[in-house]
Chain A
Amino acid sequence: MSTPGIGTWLKLEKPKLQQLIDALRDSGYRVVGPQVQDEAIVLSDLGSVEQLPIGMIDEQDGGYYRLRADEEAGWFDFVVGPQSLKPFVLPPRETLLSLQNTGTGWQVRTCHKTPSREQHIRASEAEGQVLLQASKTPEVDEPPVAVLGVRGCDLNALAIMDRVFLGGPYVDPRYQRRRESLFLVGVHCRRAAPTCFCHSLHSGPALPAGFDLGLSELDECFLVEVGSQAGARIAEQLDGEPPGHREIARARAATRALEQRMKARKSATRSIDQGRWLDTHNIRQRLLGNLEDPRWDEVAERCLACANCTMVCPTCFCTTVEEVADLSGENVQRQRRWESCFTWEHSYTAAGPVHPDTKSRYRQWLTHKLASWIDQFDTSGCVGCGRCITWCPVGIDLTEEAAAIGKESTHV
């Protein structure tokens, strides 16, 4: 079989998705995909299609997430879990530099390797050792990662992250390395959770460009669309056949029908049937023009400033670089970890924190995400994945808060 071109389609019997996993693994990728762990669908190392959460769906609402089996559900009818693609391009922790005092000066080693998740946990259990032997923190060569089951919202989120780390005057070489080697197998959504509002931001439910291979699920098979040369090289190893026009039309219709249902959501009220909707009309001015709105005080009474929303957000990119030294002070690492604008530390200056309380921090988060992001990166910082709503321990709803700012009546 000749190499399929970009934009061509392949019809694959469902169990043959295993061939895709095998082909990726044989090409040197670490294959990661959705599976049930700890009562949620997470992205973890995937060896077999049997690990996929086939027939499962997720019920999501503000501060609420449960899995259940559903007879109607196919292989990918759950939506997004707590993790986005962010950890694969910007790991929660990584070592940037490693320094050693040689007696005549500091020897600096620039690090492009990070501990794997497993190694990180082992390292945590023996933290003392890591601390005392900073230069011997376990590092592994990171193989390129292939992620199976990426949704439109997360693909759009990655494009937003690219603007932060690749599009400015400086380029982050660690992000760049991971990003350029990332292989993305997307999935067009057929189902939306009540927390999903990608349609409001034109980031789903269909996949945008940017995938290597795009999967459409039909009841009897998958259709695979080739999105890149790298995707084509993998697709040629699959034992599929060209689909008919009707099958392609059916696949597109399923996602389009979902989009129509989502667009029927007219209000930002909290209702499972209607789901969410974010009114983006004039949103920059509505938020930045109402910085003293009483709603900021009101939401601060509910907000825990726990930072969960920013941790699960696929575009929240804030980090802090910390200095880790051993007892002698002669072995030092500069380690980067995820940070959040909800912490006291985030805005700390010699004169105290710029954002001293929850009100100023929530305001910073929401105005940045939905308004000043547009100034900075010429795009909204939100893709409508709904994670900040689901994983907020008290179910604060970004769509509801955004709608309330600038409204006269500020109480629900």
Chain B
Amino acid sequence: MTAQRPTLAVFKLASCDGCQLTILDCERELLAIAERIEIAYFLEARTRTLEGPYDIGLVEGSITTEHDAERIRQIRSRCKTLITIGACATAGGIQSLRNWADVDEFVRQVYASPQYIQTLATSTPVSDHVPVDFELRGCPIDKKQLLMLIVDLLAGKQPRIPRYSVCIECKLRHTVCVAVARGVACLGPVTQAGCDAICPAYARECFGCHGPKESANPLSLAEHYRERHHDPRPLVHLLSNFNAAAPEFRQTAARLQSAPSGPAQGAN
């Protein structure tokens, strides 16, 4: 049986390592997983590495350098099934804010010796560069979704994750809506579920880390918010966050920033 275990490799591009930590965070399950999967390449977890090709490749991080762009093509060629994990790999991450700014200016501000920095003008998702078999969203990814993904892959199933809103998860756990009862800007209604609606459960707004849901309508949410609260900035900030480069979020943020403030109406 051991000989036939599928091999797993975990790679990292431009990212914070948080998604890889989520894998390690499966403490109770890791041994059971390791019985069924050969962890062949996972530098954050073990120094021993096995040569590819690999059955399953998990990729964290976005493409921000020429080197990344070349490396992801190599990774793709060595992995039978390639799965991107986290907002960086699936949407470009928070570092995609550079996509609408002057990256050289950023480099000059941040680094003492900018002449050593080589970077692309954009941060882009892996799927812009190579075909991806499946995307697991989130910042970081959700442990339960990761485990379900592994269960599905081992069973030979096409992985499925919900495409509906975070609101459904709030309601399933009886969380009172923070947008309606507190008036806070919340991206739950336009964000894909998968986190078990953890932030609103702690009276915090959803900051959209799982990216736009299927049939997302952030523009309507934004217009309603502006009508009630005059100032659209809290919503712009949420949209310009971990999934800033997701097209539905980007378009709405851009429109809110360019449009004048809404009519002066209070919340009732």
- Residues of A participating in the B interface, judged by any CB pair closer than 8 Å: 37-40, 42, 59, 61, 63-66, 82-83, 87, 92-93, 117, 120-121, 124, 126-129, 131-132, 272, 301-308, 311-312, 325-327, 329, 337-338, 340, 342-345, 357-358, 361, 390-391, 393-395
Closest approach, in angstroms, between the C-beta of B164 and any C-beta of chain A? Answer: 4
A61-B268 contact, Cβ under 8 Å, with A303-B220, A395-B224: yes
Closest approach, in angstroms, between the C-beta of B196 and any C-beta of chain A? Answer: 5
Are B176 and A121 in contact, with the CB atoms below 8 A?
Answer: no
Residues of B within 8 A of A132 (CB): 28-29, 32, 147
A390-B26 contact, Cβ under 8 Å, with A121-B173, A124-B173, A327-B36: no
Residues of B within 8 A of A307 (CB): 164-165, 167-168, 171
Interface residue B155 (Cβ < 8 Å from any Cβ of A): yes
A128-B181 contact, Cβ under 8 Å, with A302-B220, A303-B217: no
Count B interface residues, CB 8 Å.
49
- Which of B151, B183, B224, B228 has a CB less than 8 Å from the CB of A327? B151
Interface SS, B side? helix
Minimal Cβ-Cβ distance residue in B for A312: B171
Are A304 and B163 in contact, with the CB atoms below 8 A?
Answer: no
Are A42 and B174 in contact, with the CB atoms below 8 A?
Answer: yes
Residues of B within 8 A of A39 (CB): 176, 181-182
A87-B174 contact, Cβ under 8 Å, with A311-B168, A327-B32: yes
Give the 7 A-B residue pairs with the shortest CB-CB distance, closest first: A311-B171, A306-B189, A127-B144, A394-B224, A38-B176, A343-B164, A92-B172
A117-B174 contact, Cβ under 8 Å, with A304-B190, A390-B180: yes
Q: How far apart sit A312 and B267, CA to CA, in the bound complex (Å)?
A: 22
Residues of B within 8 A of A59 (CB): 268
Residue-wise, chain B 171-211 has the 8 Å CB interface mask toward A (1 for contact) of 11111110111110010111000001000000100000000
Interface residue B215 (Cβ < 8 Å from any Cβ of A): yes
Q: How far apart sit A305 and B177, CA to CA, in the bound complex (Å)?
A: 16
Are A82 and B167 in contact, with the CB atoms below 8 A?
Answer: no
Interface residue B154 (Cβ < 8 Å from any Cβ of A): yes
- Which of B29, B189, B213, B224 has a CB less than 8 Å from the CB of A128? B29
Most buried by B among A82, A121, A337, A361: A82
Closest approach, in angstroms, between the C-beta of A38 and any C-beta of chain B? Answer: 4
A37-B172 contact, Cβ under 8 Å, with A64-B268, A340-B164, A358-B215: no
Q: How far apart sit A40 and B183, CA to CA, in the bound complex (Å)?
A: 12
Closest approach, in angstroms, between the C-beta of A249 and any C-beta of chain B? Answer: 36
Closest approach, in angstroms, between the C-beta of A369 and any C-beta of chain B? Answer: 17
Residues of A within 8 A of B18 (CB): none
- Which of B33, B143, B215 has a CB less than 8 Å from the CB of A127? B143
A306-B190 contact, Cβ under 8 Å, with A340-B164, A344-B215, A358-B217: yes
Q: How far apart sit A357 and B28, CA to CA, in the bound complex (Å)?
A: 41
Residues of B within 8 A of A311 (CB): 167-168, 171-172
Are B29 and A38 in contact, with the CB atoms below 8 A?
Answer: no
A-B contact pairs, 29 of them (CB 8 A): A37-B176, A39-B181, A63-B180, A64-B183, A64-B267, A92-B173, A92-B174, A128-B147, A131-B29, A131-B144, A131-B148, A132-B29, A132-B32, A132-B147, A301-B220, A302-B220, A303-B217, A304-B165, A305-B213, A305-B217, A306-B168, A312-B171, A329-B154, A329-B155, A342-B164, A343-B163, A343-B214, A345-B162, A358-B215
Residues of B within 8 A of A129 (CB): 28-29
Closest approach, in angstroms, between the C-beta of A237 and any C-beta of chain B? Answer: 31
Interface residue B107 (Cβ < 8 Å from any Cβ of A): no
Minimal Cβ-Cβ distance residue in B for A124: B196
Interface residue B69 (Cβ < 8 Å from any Cβ of A): no
Are B180 and A64 in contact, with the CB atoms below 8 A?
Answer: yes
Interface residue B150 (Cβ < 8 Å from any Cβ of A): yes
Q: How far apart sit A358 and B203, CA to CA, in the bound complex (Å)?
A: 28
Are B168 and A38 in contact, with the CB atoms below 8 A?
Answer: no
Q: How far apart sit A127 and B173, CA to CA, in the bound complex (Å)?
A: 14
